Amino acid sequence: MNESYNDNVPLIRVINDNDSFNGSLNETQDSIALSSFSKKKKDNDTIIKTNKGRTIFIGKKNRSKYSKNVIRNQKYNIITFFPVVLYEQFKFFLNLYFLLVALSQFIPALKIGYIITYFGPLVFILSITISKEAYDDLLRKKRDNEENSQKYEILTADGFKHIPSSKIKVGHLIRIHENQRVPSDLLLLRTSNINGECFIRTDQLDGETDWKLRTAVSTTQQLKFDSELYDYQASIYAENPHKDIYKFIGTFTPFSASEESISTPLNVENTIWANTVLASGTAIGLVLYTGRDTRSVMNTNFPKTKVGKIDWEINRLAKILCVVTFIVSFVLIALNNFRGIWYISLFRFLIIFSSIIPISLRVNLDLGKTYYSYDIMHDDEIPGTVVRTSTIPEELGRVEYILSDKTGTLTKNEMELKQIHLGTLSYTTEAMEEIRSNLLMLYETQNEVNNIRFKRSKDMANRIKDIVIALALCHNVTPIISEDGKLTYEASSPDEIAIVKWTEKIGMTLIYRDTKKIKLKTPIDTILEFSILEIFPFTSETKRMGIIVKDEITNEITFYMKGADVVLSKMVLYNDWLDEECGNMARKGLRTLVIARKKLSNNSYMTFKKKYDQAKLSVADRNGEMEKVQTSIENDLELLGLTGVEDKLQDNVKTTLELLRNAGIKIWMLTGDKVETASCIAVSSKLVSRNSSIVKFFNLNSMTDACLVIDGETLQLCLSGCKDLFYEMTKNLPAVVCCRCSPTQKADVTKLIKTKIKNCVCAIGDGGNDVSMIQSADVGVGIVGKEGKQASLAADFSINQFQHLASLLLWHGRNSYKRSAALSQFIIHRGLIISVIQTVFSAMFYFAPIALYQGLLLVGYTTVYTSGPVFSLVLDKDINYATAMKYPELYKELLKGRSLSFKTFFQWMLISVYQGGIIMTGSILLFEDQFQNIKSITFTALIFNELLMVALEVKTWHKTMVLAEIITLFFYILSMFYLKTDFDLSFIFSINFVWKVAAITLVSSLPLYIIKKLKSYFSPPNYLLIRD
């Protein structure tokens, strides 16, 4: 890409904390009057000293270095690819062991058989892995290049020019169009809306699908043309970059030679963060932060290669097998009294017994995982499911914790007002028509607002009108009229849209809204007009939203407020019903909002306004200063009523959560929503069981049947100062709800639980704010929904609905884990039994380090002679789908890890020792006259024994298993004609050979079958009791 455009694109002047402020002043004196600028110098010095950040001057070139505005999700580059990939492979003891064994074959004294038999399998496995990693990383690079090469318009002296996203720098003026992704963190300067407003979609940042309203800086919005921005003289102070997406402190200071400048406070409402999307119109913004300094990147954890716990368990077993190999080799050398060059013999024995640690185990497990992934993606019960990480399907069967997002995951994010309470009367959905008729009657008789007075009486028509007007005014909803005349609403909260839709339904319609005015249409089609004097937006700290409006007809000034009952109950006048009714609605799973008002005189409002404007300009603790002034009018409010809004749940969420809870899985809800809302959803979704109660963090004590609710700030204190104590207090709780969680906090909670448990943590979400949590979990599940596909693309498993999680864990997780456990142990047994035969053989032949089976015979044993039947175990299942879903308690057994444990490992070791000893000693006893055919005798008995053992292990026969057994037996008999050096055909096909080999096989297998049946009869496993 030609970068010549840099010469023609002056950047906005940027001052670092370490830059000389006086130096920057000298550079700007040519274009800025000294008198006006020096007046602000002292204030700016105070700003920088109080809260370090960056100060930007519009219209000046600058080459200060900040983070490059590039997206990079690649795991490797051309230099690090091979070293990192090889390290990832050889950090597993299994692969490292076989590498050393293969390299030993270059030493003549240690060479046993063909080198290809040692290097071939290892190279094959590594080639597949390296190719897969290279392909996946190339896809990541392709996606990165697409993002980084997207073109954006920047304002230059010659007008707007296009540059790629990767070339954007701090200080550029960028124009964003409708439905275009924002490439960096911006300060909003102008919009195509005359009022300086625009909407953005933040679903890929905070997980919320609702549109957020943003407002441009008023002084730049008033410019006539966009091009005037380039020559506009102003300084912008921006705080240092941080993770909090809900906070921003800045100051905009225009300066002029002719008049005194006035600083404008900046907050998060004036910003557009990277990775959001402009939902309406066009906007011009000043780049504040780029690359890794953006809120989006700072809240994202970069993915690491996930390795299943079963792989680490097998890795530990491989180390035990290596120790066993060394011990056996050393014992054989010792029994031979260390004759000759004993250490050479020791190494030869180690190589001979290398089959104890079967390299085919990795191949079979990887192929098994591929099949499990295929099975998941083609399951009709969970259509649309995609497996993006095929290395960890077994982890689905060992999930102990589920960490779930709320919005769009447990709920549909579709709101509806279900109930409104006025103190003495309560109206539900069925009675809303009565409200409408009362309101209509009132306006038909008196439609002048100045004739309406609040009366402490049973005049319900007036009380209904008061709360309806309050609901129609106290919000941040903007009405949008489409080309076909249809009225729709956009807002940052679905609750507000639901309430405004309700007011429209009963006759009070919001028809116009900008930064200064609100217009309502009454049931008799008259227009009520109100001026907006001040807005107090909702925050997680205040838990309330307020607005001061002035009636244009009566000139009355009214302060309306709505918010959580825990906050407003202390601000309203005394009443005896609020707390009780809030509890009643909460038990129904409704999101409650208390509605109140206070009439202000003109003098009291002007006094408040003066103090509030001063607080807005404070840089040190601006929010705190504004809060102090705001609280001065938040007292003695008149309680108007209470609303209950329902957030519709996803299909079958209650059933799914109950299934998962009965399966012994602990469920945590991690949400960015407020405490009250999350608590309501926890109740309505049955995340909290019938016998459980909801308690706040410090009321927890030793309760084990409660649902803990904790907010973001308290959670941060726990994570930073007392992680262990926090986990100990919550580990026995069936459910925990963490509210106001940032993406980073979600990831931190996930990591904390991972370090404390032996089993797996599953994280599930549907928004961009869930990506860090999903990537940090052992198993990440993304839902494709309204919030886009970012979570789905970053997850290990992608599903369409939350209810599919039950099938994914209880059915596919169970099958994958139990099948891999059986497969791995059987392959280990296959290597152990042949090593036991080799040990007995060496002991009988004067402890000579000579291999009994070599070349094609040894290779065939682990491939064509046994691989088919053994691998067919991936088709086995102990119960059917209906049973798994009907009895979720069976999943608890998987969490105990008994399918693959040291106990089962040593049981298979004993089986291998018994069967290997029987085959070798039985062959010598029954065929003492044909000792020269000992190889073909023992090998045939070994193959028949393995085929029979596979048959004994199968719990549910599949036609493929039967075919695998028959085809394998056919290939073995056919290969006898080809391997004439190993098999004497005249001897092999004799009656004497057949019955004796059959007898040896029966003796090696029949006792194990009898023991298995007796154990099943006297102590049957749970799945067998249910199945029978």
Supply φ then ψ for residue 109, to 5 degrees. -65, -20
Q: What are the b/e assignments for 320-352, b being 16+ CB within 10 Å?
A: ebbebbeebbeebbeebeeeeeeeebbbbbbbb
Which residues fall within 8 angstroms of residue 61, CB to CB, at 6 or more apart? 10, 11, 13
How far apart are alpha carbons 939 and 837 in whole angstroms?
Answer: 9
Tally: H helices and E strands in the chain: 36, 34
The rounded Cα 134 to chain-centroid distance in angstroms is 24
DSSP state of 778: S
Give the pair of three-digit tokens for residue 459: 């005049």
How far apart are alpha carbons 286 and 368 in whole angstroms?
Answer: 53
Question: Is 405 an annotated catalytic residue?
Answer: yes
Among residues 71, 86, 191, which one has the least CA distance to residue 142?
71
Q: How many CB atoms lie within 10 A of CB 801?
A: 19
DSSP state of 452: -
How far apart, in Å, do the first and last CA atoms of the chain sit? 70
How far apart are alpha carbons 358 and 349 in whole angstroms?
Answer: 16
Which residues fall within 8 angstroms of residue 276, CB to CB, at 6 or more apart? 181, 182, 200, 201, 202, 204, 205, 212
The rounded Cα 809 to chain-centroid distance in angstroms is 17
Q: Which of 185, 210, 311, 405 is catalytic?
A: 405
Q: Using an 8 Å Cβ cutoff, are 852 and 935 in contact?
A: yes
**Torsion over CA: 428, 432, 438, 439 (sign):** positive
Supply φ then ψ for residue 156, to 5 degrees. -125, 180
Q: Using an 8 Å Cβ cutoff, are 303 and 790 in contact?
A: no
How far apart are alpha carbons 350 and 648 in whole angstroms?
Answer: 64
Count Cα neighbours of 50 within 13 Å in the Cβ-side half-sphere. 15
Query: In 569-674, which residue ranges form alpha helices assigned H by DSSP?
Result: 578-587, 602-616, 622-631, 653-662
Give the pair of three-digit tokens for residue 109: 């004294």
How far apart are alpha carbons 99 and 419 in whole angstroms?
Answer: 70
* CA distances from residue 418 to 80, 441, 591, 602 in whole angstroms, order as listed: 58, 23, 10, 37
Give 399's strand partners.
760
Give the pair of three-digit tokens for residue 852: 């009994």
Give 600's strand partners.
557
Among residues 802, 803, 781, which one has the least CA distance to residue 792?
781
For β-strands 264-266 and 197-201, DSSP reports them as unpaired
SS percent in the chain: helix, strand, coil, step 5: 50, 20, 30
**Torsion over CA: 884, 886, 890, 894 (sign):** positive
Supply φ then ψ for residue 400, to 5 degrees. -100, -30
Give the pair of three-digit tokens for residue 985: 């055909």
Q: How many CB atoms lie within 10 A of CB 681?
A: 23
Q: Using an 8 Å Cβ cutoff, are 975 and 988 in contact?
A: no
Among residues 389, 468, 514, which one has the least CA distance to residue 133?
389
* CA distances from residue 169 to 230, 433, 599, 603 in whole angstroms, order as listed: 15, 57, 49, 48
**Torsion over CA: 698, 699, 704, 708 (sign):** negative
Burial class (CB in 10 A: 0-12, 13-18, 19+), 995: exposed
Q: Which residues are catalytic?
A: 405
